[in-house]
């Protein structure tokens, strides 16, 4: 069985991307990063997703990116609320080099366990405008991986698989619902209340709400 390292954030995109990869016949190695995010409760959701998918192994790595700051998710900067979803500028929730760092960690683990695939649940349509969610970024990382590793030198290329890259949030939710995924175990909010309730006004909550509405599916988190 081929192996894939999947980055699980606890959100619905990475859950769906992992489930699609599993359906293609991959054995899943799940990786989650505790990076000092203000919404660290997403890590509980990530573990629930790992259990729901019965992944072979789930590793959580602690890496305190708040030491660098520079983002509303890791520093004392307010998370924007009710921002236009058509605003194409890069918002302050962007975490500098986050996906580069996460893919690098996934690459290291993939080489150790002999996984040829790294799965990232990014999509370039209904997303927050982050540069490191775009296809050009993904292709550049794949190219880097062949130079960066022993496996690459020996001719084993790494594929960074982004099964959701061209899907709308509604399409992702419709596919996940058709596969029976329980989105009630996921978390998307950047700025949840201390009791875990989503704020419903950050970009991530609003993209999620619009996706469920367009898919005609009820969000099990909001009952």
Which residues sit at the interface with its own copies, rule CB under 8 A? Answer: 59, 61-65, 67-70, 90, 94-101, 103-105, 107-109, 111-112, 131-132, 134, 136-137, 140-141, 143-145, 147-150, 152-153
Q: CB 125 → its own copies: shortest distance, Å?
A: 18
CB nearer to its own copies: pick between 7 and 170? 7
For residue 132, the tally of other CB atoms under 10 A from its CB is 21
Q: CB 154 → its own copies: shortest distance, Å?
A: 9
Write the CB contacts of 90 (distance below 8 Å, at least 6 apart in sequence). 129, 130, 131
CB nearer to its own copies: pick between 9 and 74? 74
CB nearer to its own copies: pick between 9 and 186? 9
Angle at CA of residue 92, ends 86 and 97, nearest 5°: 105
The Cα-based distances of 123 to 55, 78, 130 in angstroms read 23, 24, 10
Q: CB 165 → its own copies: shortest distance, Å?
A: 14
CB nearer to its own copies: pick between 68 and 201? 68
């Amino acid at each position: 069985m081929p192996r894939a390292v999947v980055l699980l954030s606890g959100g619905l995109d990475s859950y769906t991307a992992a489930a699609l990869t599993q359906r293609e016949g991959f054995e899943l190695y799940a990786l989650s990063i505790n990076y000092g995010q203000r919404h660290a409760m997403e890590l509980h959701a990530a573990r629930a997703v790992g259990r729901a998918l019965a992944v072979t192994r789930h590793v959580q790595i602690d890496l305190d990116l708040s030491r660098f700051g520079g983002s509303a998710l890791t520093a004392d900067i307010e998370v924007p609320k009710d921002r236009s979803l058509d605003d194409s500028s890069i918002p302050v929730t962007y975490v500098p080099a986050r996906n580069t760092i996460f893919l690098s960690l996934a690459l290291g683990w993939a080489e150790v366990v002999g996984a040829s695939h790294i799965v990232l649940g990014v999509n370039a349509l209904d997303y927050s405008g982050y540069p490191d969610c775009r296809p050009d970024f993904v292709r550049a990382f794949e190219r880097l991986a062949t130079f960066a590793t022993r496996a690459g030198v020996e001719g084993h290329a790494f594929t960074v698989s982004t099964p959701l890259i061209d899907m709308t949030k509604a399409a992702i939710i419709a596919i996940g619902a058709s596969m029976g995924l329980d989105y009630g175990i996921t978390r998307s909010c950047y700025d949840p209340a201390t009791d875990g309730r989503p704020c419903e006004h950050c970009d991530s909550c609003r993209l999620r709400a619009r996706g469920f509405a367009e898919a005609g599916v009820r969000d099990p988190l909001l009952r």
